[in-house]
């Protein structure tokens, strides 16, 4: 990948639980695991319900217990330019992936994936939405996102994702 900046966007529905968690966890893990890699990491929602809001307080509390500070993040909706700017756009679930596929230009759809493709050992395809559940749901989300973030770091280290953003 050379000296190019790799740009990754994490996406869920409202951008207040799963995708900001993925942004914070991956940013911290990549800084530790891949300090030499230039990265831009962001998150967004397929819906703009919570634009400008901080992540859900339960999300922030669960993340902080594991050392991830999400307090500076603010929700935003996916914009058309995101498909041009980001090298890899990772959806938390199939519904959001399908929404992204409908919105993305045809030549950019190959950059869209599910986050849990990077954690096959988890046996799940989707990061469940913890919004309407209990505290355990936020812990499960963190477990899944930590596993996927480690897998994503491994893929970036090996260079197996480079064809997604090669000229």
Whether 12 sits among the annotated catalytic residues: the reply is: yes
Contact 116, 148 (CB under 8 A): yes
Q: Among this protein's residues, is 56 annotated catalytic?
A: no
0.75 exceeded by pTM: yes
Q: Provide CATH code, domain 6-164.
A: 3.40.50.2300
Q: Which one has a higher pLDDT value, 160 or 121?
A: 121
Choosing from 18, 27, 76, 111, the catalytic residue is 18
- Tell me which of 42, 56, 82, 129 is the catalytic residue: 129
Digit-coded pLDDT (tens) for 16-30: 999 999 999 999 999
Q: Do 25 and 149 contact (CB within 8 A), yes or no?
A: yes
Question: Are the C-beta atoms of residues 45 and 15 closer than 8 Å to each other?
Answer: yes
For residue 129, indicate whether it is catalytic. yes
pLDDT digits (tens, 9 = 90+) for 34-82: 999 999 999 999 999 999 999 999 999 999 999 999 999 999 999 999 9
How far CA 117 is from CA of 88, 92, 114, 120, 125, in Å, comes to 13, 10, 6, 6, 7
Per-residue pLDDT tens for 97-153?
A: 999 999 999 999 999 999 999 999 999 999 999 999 888 999 999 999 999 999 999
**Residue extents of the structural domains in the chain:** 6-164
């Amino acid at each position: 990948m050379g000296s190019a900046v790799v740009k990754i966007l994490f996406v869920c529905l409202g951008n207040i639980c799963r995708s900001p968690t993925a942004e914070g966890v991956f940013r911290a893990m990549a800084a530790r695991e891949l300090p030499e890699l230039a990265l831009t990491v962001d998150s967004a929602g397929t819906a703009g319900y919570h634009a400008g809001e901080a992540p859900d307080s339960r999300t922030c509390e669960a993340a902080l217990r594991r050392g991830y500070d999400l307090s500076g993040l603010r929700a935003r909706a996916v914009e058309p330019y995101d498909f041009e700017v980001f090298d890899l756009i990772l959806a938390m679930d199939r519904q959001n992936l399908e929404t992204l596929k409908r919105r993305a230009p045809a030549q950019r759809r190959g950059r869209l994936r599910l986050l849990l493709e990077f954690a096959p050992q988890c046996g799940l395809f989707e990061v469940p939405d913890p919004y309407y559940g209990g505290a355990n749901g936020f812990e499960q989300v963190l477990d899944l996102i930590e596993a996927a973030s480690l897998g994503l770091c491994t893929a970036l280290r090996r260079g197996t994702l480079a064809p997604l953003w090669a000229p």
